[in-house]
Structure formats: structure tokens, C-alpha cells
Structure 1
């Protein structure tokens, strides 16, 4: 007998999002719950959830602050522990996902599958998937999953290049409209990060790299937006989403800030990456923006890195130039010392900085 899946009544209105802007964007989610506070969640602890998708989903598992990991962490913060089954493959379109559905999802017998698909179908142009073929592929993905007694959540595709009016997003509109229609017709849960992202862009003048690192793949803010959309679709209310966000803020190594120092030729580069939790990043950001001459976190770290390297170059140090550091094969030792100095500066900033504001308020 097929397992009965009770789908909560869904609202397709976009999640309300407030934006607080300094030199980088701190997103604050004030999510309107799509269910009554005492309604049960759509899933329960111990269930297996497959996350089918492209590189956005692959990174969602491979990165500490990816949206798949955030979904699992957000549920755990509310006493619901799931077993994630990552099934994201870079470059995949609906055609590719359909070809591997049995191997990567059905054979693993999950209780739920989330399907995130559409960016590559549109973005890849002639190598993508036409709308009518996309409709058939997505319908087949849903039908096969439901026939296997798997609960389905459909995610709308996130905007491409963070430019709502570009040709990609004009084309994507029909794809996302179909997904909303498909979710309603097939009684699937719907997470709508597309609508949520567009709400962010509409509230921000000339949005550029607010939610992504390259126009497509989410930065930590974008990952949180997608994860919040998924959790809300699973039925988390405002209070539960607040617990999830508090847990996300403590995940280490979510924000990666890379700083560089180029030699005279530009070919030789000293660089290091400083990894911070969201809580650390926002605390430092708040401290820096309250200075007489505010700077962003990347600007601060870049300036501190350059000053630290300068200590090893004449007249302060013994090396003629950054090129000489490379020639002396001392760059690794210097990077180690510079990173230690930067860590000390960050620790000092964190000690002095006020805590970031509670994202729930």
C-alpha cells in the first residue's frame, strides 16, 4: 500500500525578505509562515531526504554553508534530524537528472526528494533544454518519484546573473511558472527561491552579486535564502526559522575572503583565504562600518594583508620585493606568519565588536 503523504496547504506568495545594507549585504529573513503554528511539519525525524539538482545543489552539500547542509542544520536545530542524500551534479539539466533519477534517487529509497532544476536548461542556450521538453522531463521526474511513494518538493530555479531583466531571466519566467503549476497539479510542496531572490533584487538598487559569487552559484546569503525557502515549504514557522538562522550563524568557515599581493610582473601572487562563520563576519562588518572611515570586511583584510607582507619588504624587511620572497622560496613561511597576524587582528576585532543583531528582529 502506498504511503499517504499529507501536503500542507501552500501559499505561492514570495517569502518576505528585509535587507540591511552596509558595504556588503546582510540578509534578514522575516518569513511569513505558510501554516498554522501548531500544524505538523511535512517530514519527521529519521527520514531520508534526497536533494536532486545541478551545481547549486552539489555545492549545497560540498560547502560548509551550502543550502543542503543549512536545511539539515535548520531542521536539527528544531529537533528534526534527517539523513541527507546529496544528488547534485554540476552542469546538469532536466534531461541529465531524468537519466540518473533511478540510480541517484529511487534506488536509495528516500522519504522525500527536493528537485532543483532549470538554471542550466536556460543558461546553457543551445545546449540547454527547450521549454516543452523541460515540462516533459520535470513531469516525469515528479511522476516517477511519486510512483515510488516518495514525497516531492519542487524548487523554482534561481535568477541568472542577478539581473532580473536580462534575456536569461525573461526566458526563465516561463520555466518557473510551469514549476508552480506542476507543484499545484501534482500536490507537491513548493519552495520558491526564485520569487524570494527577485524580491531582494527589487528592494536593492542595481543589485550585483548580492546572493551569488558569480551570478549563478550562491554565496552564503544566497544559500540561506534557498534553505529558508525549503524549510518554510517543509512547514517551519517564524519561531522555528529563527532557531535555524541562529544555528547557521555558528557554522564555521562559511564566508571565505581571499586576499592577494601581486609581484611587480603580476605573475607572482601571494594569497591566502580567511574563513569565517556568518556570526564572525557580521560582527566584524558591524565593527568596521562604525569607524570614522568605514570599510568592508574584504577591504579590511586586503589592507591588513598588504601591510603585513610589506613588513618583510625593504625598507622594513630584508626582501627587495614580493618577487624576491618567491625567489627565496620563503613565501610559505611568510604566508604562515601573515595568516597568524591576520587571525590575531580578527580575534581582536571580534573581542571589541558588538554581537550582530538577531536576524529574527
Structure 2
């Protein structure tokens, strides 16, 4: 994989996952798996992995810290995983101001435009994963238009799309009974492995 050697991963708690407690600042989630995979598989590339996930973030929070946590770092590749909290807040905090699909798309597009104009890195867009390990849950139904936005923007910006939502849904369809999350949203080690595996499969294409 040849897309420079400084990769910024930005997103919510699924991306953050232990980075503040980790001396390397990588964490113990899917970013850690990808860090170790890239380091071991492509040692000559000397990849620098920077984790900028923050728990609870929605697209509006990425907007607030885009300059400091992405543009100022001058990455050669940016991998973005966002959207879960934009939907989850509609379910668990319905009284706060919400981010609906139209606003999600508008703000996401503006961030990608800034990224293209200022740095023009390789862009990797990860679909939001799941809300409850139930294909028909209210959260997973509400996620569909947000996944569609990611698909649309990936085409528009010639980005690599990581179909993590589809990967999780396909896993759930097989009804193994083995859980991938600790609470329906946050990944256990198996869920992190599925995210990382899907990322690698799509990026190495």
C-alpha cells in the first residue's frame, strides 16, 4: 500500500478506544490492529499512525477540531469513521439538537472539500457500523441514510470506502451467536478485528 506514511484516523469512541491510556496514543481498538498490521507487513514504509478519535463525537464535533486534529498534522492519508453518534443521539438523547442525514452530508462534504483543497491526501471513508446486534433494530434502520451518504461522498471525492456496516450486517445474518460489541455499539476484540479486516480488504484492493 503506497499512500505516504502518515495516516490519521479520526472518529468517535470506536476509533478512540483506549488511546488516552496508551503510551503510544494508538489505543486497543481497530486502530491498534491496523497499526500493528501495517508495521509488521510493510516495515520498510515506517508508517506513522495517529489516532484522533474522541468518544461521543458527531460530525459537528469533527468540524470543530478539523484544523487541529487533521489539517495541521499534514497527513498523507486520512481515515474517517463517523456517524454512529449522529444516529445514536436521536435514540438516547432525543431532546438535544440532532444531526439529520441532510446536515450530516453537508458538513461531511465541507470537511472533505477542505481536506482536498489544502492537502489532497488519500481519503478513506468508513461506514458507520451498527447500533445493536440486530439487523432490524431501530438504530440500524436509522443508520441506512447515513451509510448512503458515506457511499455518495466516497464516489464524489474518489475516496476508498470501507463497507463496515455491510460487513457487520453480513456477520449478523449468519447468526453465529458470538457478539462483536460490548453494548451493541462499542467493539469487543472480535468487532475490532472485523473493522480492521474490512479496512485492510478494501484498502489493499
Query: Structure 1 length as normaliser, TM-score?
Result: 0.51
Is 1:195 the equivalent of 2:153?
Answer: no
Q: Which residue of 2 aligns with 1:180?
A: 151
Count how many residue pairs are aligned between Structure 1 and Structure 2: 192
Q: How does 1:317-336 map to 2 (within 5 A)?
A: none
Say if 2:70 is the partner of 1:105: yes
Give the structure with the larger helix fraction: 2
Aligned partner of 1:214 among 170, 183, 204? 183
List aligned pairs for 1:231-246, cutoff 5 A.
231-235=200-204
Task: Indicate the larger mover: 170-179 or 121-130.
Answer: 121-130
Q: 1:65-214 residue pairs with structure 2 within 5 A? A: 65-79=28-42, 80-125=45-90, 126=94, 127=96, 128-147=98-117, 148-204=119-175, 207=177, 210-214=179-183
Q: Any conservation in 2 of the 1:42–1:234 contact (CA below 8 Å)?
A: no
Structure 2 CA distance, aligned partners of 1:103 and 1:43?
A: 21
Where does structure 1 lack aligned partners over 5 or more consecutive residues? Answer: 1-40, 237-361
- What is the rounded CA distance, in whole Å, between the counterparts of 2:134 and 2:113 in structure 1? 33
Asked if 2 retains the 8 angstrom alpha-carbon contact of 1:60 and 1:67, the reply is: no
- Cα-to-partner distance string for 1:51-79 (whole Å, 9 max, x where unaligned): 11000110064575411111111112212
Distance 1:173 1:66 in 2: 24
Q: Distance in 2 between matches of 1:81 and 1:233?
A: 21
Larger radius of gyration: 1
Deviations 1:122-168 (A, max 9, x none): 00013341111000111112111111222210000001011110111
Structure 2's unaligned 5+ residue stretches are none
CA separation in 2, counterparts of 1:67 and 1:60? 11
- Assess if the C-alpha contact under 8 Å between 2:3 and 2:122 holds in 1: no
Larger relative contact order, structure 1 or 2 (CA cutoff 8 Å, min sep 6): 2
What does residue 227 of structure 1 align with?
196
Partner deviation per Cα, 1:205-254 (whole Å, 9 max, x = no partner): 6x5x6111111110000001111122222216xxxxxxxxxxxxxxxxxx
| Other-structure match for 1:49 | 7
For the aligned residue pairs, the C-alpha RMSD in angstroms reads 1.7
SS at match of 2:52: strand
